[in-house]
């Protein structure tokens, strides 16, 4: 009898108790025959995640990046991986998709090392290991970030990734066929198939029929009666499922009736929550989603596509258009392709040197231009998706945009010079910054929401764009100056060439100075508009000031004759260091209002980059200096 | 006139600018890194607001930010007066230099006229004073009047060792600074050092100086010798700038009671602000703030006005600007507190004028010079 009372609790559904451990039991019974194109069909579907709507394709990529550190597993796309995880979790749990890079962490967790050195594990291999770490993880996460060892931080990350993965996998369990009624009478009363699986959602839709049946049993329960047993069993299963599954489900895919951009979306389990009164709109979305899922599970792609289309019509056109645009953005992969063109262009340039081919150089110029057009297309698509008139709103976009500025400037310089120097200047930063961009993109969503203070289209499109162009121009000035040093090192007698290069770097320095100074003052004015002070010696402000001062020193040193050509080129070549410090370095200090883009391992990479620029500048510069001094001495001796 | 010219001529030198700016680069770099370890405020005071700096407490005084920038400014003024060629060729450069002069003059005005602080108001409450972020004062309150309190304040300019201060017209108490620390902690006063002269908390604890906090969470403290109170109350007292530190009541030689407290300096606004409602909106499904806004009623004399203050949309009135800067939602009753940053700056328009001038100057210069500098190279080289 008490069990019946518990079941009654189900029909007055209760909140699931806090449960953090992955439950090894799964209600799934049958083996599923998924449509091979399930991933592609689900990919354009909009979901809300981390404060913004995005296509399921992006959601899949970011989650796969978190587990596998790549957005594909061999030939399996992220969307296919996610589709399997959502529609057929038991099979997906066998897929090896968790990559652990640190061998010390493996040893710490007692996981076997893989011979291929890749150390990739399936969820089933990890679940027990991870659950055993629960109390340790709690202890570690209670401590301050600075007081965690590397292994502990990585363990925390792995723990939350595995849990996140498991949560996603339980998102659709109220819509997939998980429940079977063996009793014909009960099946008939509930108008549900006898002996064939159906979903929790279908049963939930009949809760008003089920409730009186349970209440009737409450008065005279007979344990020997198969019908009574079936009702009890069904009730228990329902309660257990709701308690267990709804707690995990994390994919918010059911849009609200109005304002889907700003209002919160729900997970399918949240729609069925006892405390939530599902609207007609939500039930319609659930019905369509369930029909699509059922069709996909039975390999019926055509029906699934139809239902997905209807489901999309439930959401707003704006949301669908954005999701579609982002899907195109993902598939275009503009920055990877633009990198390919830059590298191919560089190859053509090298060939043009070997064969002294003017045509080859122009071919190289054109190929790099195609890369730049792709680069531009990627930036414009992002601006549309983010709904911002500014190409730069976060550090990732600043990397992409500085790359764009450098390539554009390089191509312009090449158009004027026509000797290949502009192409080198274009490709080197263009390619390096794409690689840096990939590093940032591998961290997850690059279109995350902005913190409130940055949410100003006017200032993003004036101050941020100007200062970013300034970074680009200053780097280009530095690179031209560095190439001057090498030309002078290996070809000291070609005075006209050296003179033309030195004119170029002064020209670009003036351009850089314009953008850096205007950008920096604009930043100050934004500060005055936002929190009442024009200048506060904040690290980012100081960084920008440092670039401006450095450029001013070089220019005034030239005019005041404190610096000769070698000194100007050396100082200017070091400008790239000031740019890197202002751009990335100040974030490492972890203080100030602009501290928005810190990445792990960044300090080391930054030190390597600055160190390399320093050596690449100082070594030729010192050699030239010594050589010139020696030559001057010989000349003087010859005279005497 | 000739004298002025001959004095200014050597100052209008590119070399002075060159070396002063190089030194400024050093200061900016060190002053930035220092913020991680000593907090923004103390680094700012040491490397940028100060005239001179003593590196690592060596017996050596070098120019700090203010002096270096003054040298640059003097150099610029001298250059503009005596060494500028007013020719078309130099028009861009000259306009830019005038713009920089405006910008730096704005900096000078700001450095000497700005007051900034904050004001925290609970929903349903009104306020008309704001507190400085860093400057301190010793406030002596006479509560003997029936319908108002008489507050006498002494600014932190007095807070140097052995400095004495008093306000004979208003209060009898006289003060002498024994110790003053911008950041300190309290430690037990050794029993041997306690005398009957140590009053209140000073009879148990004393202050120990700390370096500036790297998050600017400094606890300022002062030990004062107070005289001209009643005979039994003359002696040494401790005051800490901490919200939980209770003001000390001392009876003066005139028989009146005075509450003495160390606090952030208070300023009076020419209007009052009543907070009707504070609102924080989050990005959907997250805890990340999308916007903060405060609905306030501003009353000045008999007129009042309803205004919404939110991010990037401050309230500007009577030379004061109020910015939405922070909030507190921890009150369990649901009553929220909104925090505004208050700034009074006579130089605030200068950067706006300067940027127009500088942009114009640099654009002219770039358009005149850059096409020539990026000229075709090929026919020359080969």
Q: How do residues A547-560 score in pLDDT, each as one tens digit?
A: 999 999 999 999 88
More confident residue, A13 or A519: A519
Q: Which of A514-523, A607-616, B282-291 has the lowest mean pLDDT?
A: B282-291
Q: Tell me the nearest-neighbour CA distance from A482 into chain B, angstroms.
A: 17
Query: What is residue A102's predicted lDDT score, i.e. its pLDDT?
Result: 86
For the CA atoms of A20, A21, A24, A25, the dihedral, rounded to the nearest 10 degrees, stands at -40
Query: What is residue A385's predicted lDDT score, i.e. its pLDDT?
Result: 94
Of A308, A531, A386, nearest to B348 by C-alpha is: A531
Confidence class of residue B319 from pLDDT cuts 50, 70 and 90?
confident
Query: What is residue B25's predicted lDDT score, i.e. its pLDDT?
Result: 96
Instruction: Output the CA–CA distances (angstroms, integers) from residue B130 to A64, A534, B267, B346, in the order listed.
Output: 51, 20, 5, 18
Chain A residues with beta carbon closer than 8 angstroms to that of B294: none
A497 at interface of B, judged by CB pairs closer than 8 A:
yes
Q: Tell me the nearest-neighbour CA distance from B172 into chain A, angstroms.
A: 40
How far, in Å, CA of B25 to CA of A590, rounded?
A: 21
Query: What is residue A13's predicted lDDT score, i.e. its pLDDT?
Result: 35
Q: Which of A142-146, A164-168, B15-19 has the lowest mean pLDDT?
A: A142-146
How far, in Å, CA of B42 to CA of B213, rounded?
A: 8
Which tokens go with B272?
Answer: 């009052």
For residues A399 and A372, the answer to whether their CB atoms sit within 8 Å is no
Residue A488 has pLDDT above 50, yes or no: yes
Q: Do B374 and A413 touch (CB under 8 A)?
A: yes
For residues A499 and A551, the answer to whether their CB atoms sit within 8 Å is no
Which tokens go with A437?
Answer: 């961009």
Residue A596 has pLDDT above 80, yes or no: no
How confident is the model over B79-97, as pLDDT tens digits? 999 888 888 889 999 999 9
For residues B20 and B72, the answer to whether their CB atoms sit within 8 Å is yes
Query: What is residue B372's predicted lDDT score, i.e. its pLDDT?
Result: 84
Q: Tell me the nearest-neighbour CA distance from B14 into chain A, angstroms.
A: 5
Query: What is residue A19's predicted lDDT score, i.e. its pLDDT?
Result: 35
Confidence class of residue B159 from pLDDT cuts 50, 70 and 90?
very high
Three-state SS at A292: helix
Query: What is residue A591's predicted lDDT score, i.e. its pLDDT?
Result: 54
Q: Do A452 and B290 touch (CB under 8 A)?
A: yes
For residues B253 and B228, the answer to whether their CB atoms sit within 8 Å is yes
Half-sphere exposure (Cβ direction) of B89: Cα atoms closer than 13 Å: 2
Which tokens go with B283?
Answer: 């990005």
Confidence class of residue A398 from pLDDT cuts 50, 70 and 90?
very high
Query: What is residue A466's predicted lDDT score, i.e. its pLDDT?
Result: 96
Half-sphere exposure (Cβ direction) of A103: Cα atoms closer than 13 Å: 6
Which tokens go with A570?
Answer: 């050396």
Residue A382 has pLDDT above 90, yes or no: yes
Q: What is the mean pLDDT of residues B147-159?
A: 89
A510 at interface of B, judged by CB pairs closer than 8 A:
yes
For residues B17 and A560, the answer to whether their CB atoms sit within 8 Å is yes
Average pLDDT over all residues of chain B? 90
Q: What is the mean pLDDT of residues A521-529?
A: 90
How confident is the model over A358-373, as pLDDT tens digits? 899 999 999 999 999 9
Strand partners, A198: A179
Residue B263 has pLDDT above 80, yes or no: yes
Q: Do B377 and A416 touch (CB under 8 A)?
A: yes
How confident is the model over A244-271, as pLDDT tens digits? 888 887 899 999 988 888 889 999 999 9
Of A99-103, A373-377, B341-345, which one has max mean pLDDT? Answer: A373-377
- Considering Cα of A455, then A459, then A462, then A467, what sign does the dihedral take? negative
Q: Do A419 and B377 touch (CB under 8 A)?
A: yes
Q: What is the mean pLDDT of residues A507-518?
A: 96
Query: What is residue A248's predicted lDDT score, i.e. its pLDDT?
Result: 80
Closest partner residue to A252 (CB to CB) among B25, B285, B366 is B285
- Considering Cα of A222, then A225, then A228, then A229, what sign does the dihedral take? positive
Confidence class of residue A600 from pLDDT cuts 50, 70 and 90?
low
For residues A502 and A564, the answer to whether their CB atoms sit within 8 Å is no
A424 at interface of B, judged by CB pairs closer than 8 A:
no
Confidence class of residue A8 from pLDDT cuts 50, 70 and 90?
very low
% of chain A with per-residue pLDDT over 70: 93
Q: Where exactly are the structural domains of chain A?
A: 31-169, 177-300+312-321, 329-636
Residue A427 has pLDDT above 80, yes or no: yes
Chain A residues with beta carbon closer than 8 angstroms to that of B43: 537
Query: What is residue B291's predicted lDDT score, i.e. its pLDDT?
Result: 86
Residue of B nearest to A466 (CA): B359
How confident is the model over A299-347, as pLDDT tens digits? 999 999 999 999 999 888 999 999 999 999 999 999 999 999 999 999 9
Q: What is the mean pLDDT of residues A272-290?
A: 91
Confidence class of residue B377 from pLDDT cuts 50, 70 and 90?
low
Average pLDDT over all residues of chain A? 88
Residue A17 has pLDDT above 50, yes or no: no
Residue A538 has pLDDT above 60, yes or no: yes
* Mutation for testing the B interface, residue in A59, A421, A531 having most B CBs under 10 Å: A531
Which tokens go with A244?
Answer: 């267990």
Closest partner residue to B289 (CB to CB) among A417, A452, A514 is A452
- Chain A segment 234-253 residues within 8 A of B by beta carbon are 252
Chain A residues with beta carbon closer than 8 angstroms to that of B285: 48-51, 252, 264-265
How confident is the model over B58-79, as pLDDT tens digits? 888 999 999 999 999 999 999 9
Q: Do A48 and B342 touch (CB under 8 A)?
A: no
Q: Name B71's Cβ contacts closer than 8 Å, sequence gap at least 6.
A: B16, B20, B63
Q: Tell me the nearest-neighbour CA distance from B378 into chain A, angstroms.
A: 6
Q: What is the mean pLDDT of residues B37-52?
A: 88
Q: Name B55's Cβ contacts closer than 8 Å, sequence gap at least 6.
A: B62
Max CA-CA distance within chain B? 98
Number of CB pairs, chain A paired with chain B, less than 8 A apart: 203
Closest partner residue to B36 (CB to CB) among A421, A453, A589 is A589
Q: Name A191's Cβ contacts closer than 8 Å, sequence gap at least 6.
A: A206, A209
Closest partner residue to B288 (CB to CB) among A51, A539, A556 is A51
Q: Tell me the nearest-neighbour CA distance from A625 into chain B, angstroms.
A: 22
Query: What is residue A163's predicted lDDT score, i.e. its pLDDT?
Result: 92
A559 at interface of B, judged by CB pairs closer than 8 A:
yes
Query: What is residue A4's predicted lDDT score, i.e. its pLDDT?
Result: 47
Q: Do A542 and B355 touch (CB under 8 A)?
A: no
Q: What is the mean pLDDT of residues B174-200?
A: 91
Which tokens go with A20?
Answer: 């953090």
How far, in Å, CA of A13 to CA of A8, rounded?
A: 9
DSSP run (H or E) holding A364: helix A358-386
Instruction: Output the CA–CA distances (angstroms, integers) from residue A220 to A4, A224, A226, A228, in the order listed.
Output: 10, 12, 14, 10
Query: What is residue A376's predicted lDDT score, i.e. its pLDDT?
Result: 97
Query: What is residue B339's predicted lDDT score, i.e. its pLDDT?
Result: 92
Confidence class of residue A219 from pLDDT cuts 50, 70 and 90?
confident
Q: Do B311 and A530 touch (CB under 8 A)?
A: yes
Q: Tell me the nearest-neighbour CA distance from A80 into chain B, angstroms.
A: 26
Q: Tell me the nearest-neighbour CA distance from B40 into chain A, angstroms.
A: 8
Strand partners, B140: B152, B260
Query: What is residue B312's predicted lDDT score, i.e. its pLDDT?
Result: 81
A562 at interface of B, judged by CB pairs closer than 8 A:
yes
Confidence class of residue A510 from pLDDT cuts 50, 70 and 90?
very high
Q: What is the mean pLDDT of residues A466-486?
A: 96
Residue A599 has pLDDT above 60, yes or no: no
DSSP letter at A598 equals -
Of A471, A465, A562, nearest to A508 by C-alpha is: A471
Confidence class of residue A115 from pLDDT cuts 50, 70 and 90?
confident
**Could you write out the DSSP letters of every residue in B62-94?**
EE-HHHHHHHHHHHHHHHHHHS---SGGGHHHH
Residue A77 has pLDDT above 80, yes or no: yes
Q: What is the mean pLDDT of residues B246-264?
A: 91
How far, in Å, CA of A506 to CA of B236, rounded?
A: 66
How confident is the model over A630-640, as pLDDT tens digits? 999 999 988 87
């Amino acid at each position: 009898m008490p069990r019946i009372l518990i079941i009654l609790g189900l029909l007055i559904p209760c909140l699931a108790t806090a449960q953090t451990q992955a439950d090894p039991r799964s209600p799934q019974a049958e083996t599923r025959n998924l449509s091979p194109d399930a991933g592609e069909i689900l990919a354009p579907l909009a979901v809300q995640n981390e404060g913004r709507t995005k296509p399921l394709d992006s959601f899949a990529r970011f989650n796969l990046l978190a587990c596998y550190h790549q957005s594909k597993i061999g030939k399996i796309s992220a969307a296919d991986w996610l589709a399997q995880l959502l529609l057929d979790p038991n099979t997906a749990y066998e897929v090896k998709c968790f990559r652990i890079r640190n061998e010390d962490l493996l040893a710490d967790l007692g996981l076997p090392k893989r011979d291929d050195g890749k150390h990739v594990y399936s969820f089933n291999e990890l679940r027990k290991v991870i659950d055993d770490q629960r109390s340790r993880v709690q202890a570690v996460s209670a401590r301050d970030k600075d007081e965690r060892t590397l292994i502990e931080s990585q363990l925390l990350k792995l723990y939350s990734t595995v849990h996140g993965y498991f949560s996603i996998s339980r998102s659709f369990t109220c819509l997939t066929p998980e429940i079977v009624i063996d009793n014909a009478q009960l099946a008939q009363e509930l108008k549900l198939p006898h002996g064939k699986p159906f979903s929790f959602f279908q049963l939930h839709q009949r809760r008003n029929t089920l409730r009186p049946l349970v209440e009737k049993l409450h008065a005279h329960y007979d344990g020997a009666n198969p019908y009574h047993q079936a009702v009890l069993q069904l009730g228990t299963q329902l309660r257990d499922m709701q308690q267990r599954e709804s707690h995990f489900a994390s994919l918010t895919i059911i849009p609200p009736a109005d304002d889907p951009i700003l209002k919160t979306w729900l997970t399918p389990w949240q729609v069925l929550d006892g405390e939530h009164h599902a609207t007609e709109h939500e039930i319609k979305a659930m019905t369509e989603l369930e029909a699509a899922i059922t069709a996909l599970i039975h390999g019926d792609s055509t029906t699934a596509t139809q239902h997905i289309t209807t489901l999309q019509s439930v959401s707003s056109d704006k949301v669908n258009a954005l999701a579609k645009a982002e899907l195109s953005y993902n598939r275009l992969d503009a920055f990877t392709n633009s990198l390919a063109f830059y590298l191919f262009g560089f190859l053509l340039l090298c060939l043009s040197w070997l064969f002294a081919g003017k045509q080859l150089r122009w071919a190289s110029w054109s190929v790099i231009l195609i890369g730049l057009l792709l680069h531009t297309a990627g930036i414009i698509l992002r601006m549309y998706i983010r709904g911002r008139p500014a190409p730069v709103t976060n550090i990732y976009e600043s990397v992409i945009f500085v790359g764009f500025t450098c390539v554009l400037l390089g191509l312009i310089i090449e158009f004027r010079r026509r000797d290949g120097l502009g192409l080198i200047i274009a490709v080197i930063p263009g390619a390096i910054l794409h690689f840096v961009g990939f590093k940032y993109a591998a961290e997850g969503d690059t279109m995350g929401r902005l913190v409130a203070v940055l949410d100003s289209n006017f200032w993003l499109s004036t101050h941020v764009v100007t200062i970013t162009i300034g970074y680009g121009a200053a780097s280009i000035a530095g690179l031209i100056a560095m190439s001057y040093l090498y030309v002078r090192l290996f070809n000291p007698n070609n005075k006209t060439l050296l003179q033309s290069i030195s004119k170029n770097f002064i020209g670009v320095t003036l351009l850089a100075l314009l953008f850096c100074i205007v950008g920096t003052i604009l930043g100050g004015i934004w500060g005055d508009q936002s929190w009442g002070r024009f200048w506060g010696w904040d690290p980012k402000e100081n960084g920008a000031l440092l670039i401006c001062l450095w450029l001013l020193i070089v220019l005034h040193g030239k005019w005041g004759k404190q610096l000769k050509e070698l000194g100007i080129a050396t100082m200017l070549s070091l400008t790239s260091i000031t740019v890197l410090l202002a751009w990335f370095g100040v974030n490492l200090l972890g203080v100030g209002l602009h501290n928005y883009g810190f990445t792990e391992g960044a300090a080391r990479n930054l030190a390597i980059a600055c160190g390399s620029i320093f050596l690449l500048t100082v070594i030729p510069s010192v050699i030239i200096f010594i050589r010139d001094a020696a030559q001057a001495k010989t000349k003087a001796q010859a005279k005497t | 006139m000739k004298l002025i010219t001959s004095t200014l001529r050597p100052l209008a030198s590119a070399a002075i600018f060159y070396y002063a700016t190089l030194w400024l680069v050093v200061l900016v770099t060190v002053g930035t890194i220092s913020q991680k370890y000593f907090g923004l405020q103390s680094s700012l005071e040491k490397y940028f607001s100060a005239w001179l700096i003593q590196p690592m407490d060596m017996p050596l005084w070098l120019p700090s930010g203010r002096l270096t920038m003054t040298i640059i400014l003097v150099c610029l003024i001298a250059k503009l007066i005596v060494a500028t060629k007013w020719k078309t060729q130099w028009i861009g450069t000259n306009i830019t230099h005038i713009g920089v002069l405006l910008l730096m003059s704005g900096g000078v005005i700001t450095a000497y006229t700005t007051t900034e602080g904050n004001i925290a108001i609970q929903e349903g409450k009104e306020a008309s004073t704001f507190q400085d972020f860093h400057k301190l004062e010793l406030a002596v309150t006479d509560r003997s009047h029936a319908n108002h309190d008489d507050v006498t304040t002494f600014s932190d300019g007095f807070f140097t060792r052995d400095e004495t201060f008093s306000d004979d017209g208003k209060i009898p108490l006289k003060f002498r600074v024994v110790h003053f620390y911008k950041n300190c902690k309290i430690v037990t006063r050794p029993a041997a050092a306690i005398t009957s002269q140590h009053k209140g908390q000073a009879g148990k604890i004393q202050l120990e100086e700390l370096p500036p906090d790297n998050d600017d969470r400094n606890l300022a403290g002062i030990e004062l010798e107070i005289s001209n109170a009643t005979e039994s109350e003359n002696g040494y007292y401790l005051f800490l700038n901490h919200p939980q530190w209770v003001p000390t009541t001392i009876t003066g030689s005139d028989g009146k009671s005075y509450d003495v407290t160390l606090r952030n300096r208070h300023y009076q606004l020419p209007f009052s602000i009543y907070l009707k409602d504070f609102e924080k909106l989050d990005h959907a499904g997250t805890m990340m703030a999308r916007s903060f806004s405060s609905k306030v009623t501003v009353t000045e004399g008999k007129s009042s006005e309803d205004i919404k203050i939110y991010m990037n949309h401050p309230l500007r009135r009577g030379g004061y600007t109020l910015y939405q800067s922070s909030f507190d939602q921890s009150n369990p009753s649901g009553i929220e507190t909104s925090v505004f940053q208050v700034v009074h700056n006579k130089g605030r328009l200068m950067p706006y004028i300067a940027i127009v001038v500088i942009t114009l100057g640099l654009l002219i210069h770039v358009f005149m010079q850059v096409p020539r500098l990026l000229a075709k190279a090929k026919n020359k080289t080969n």
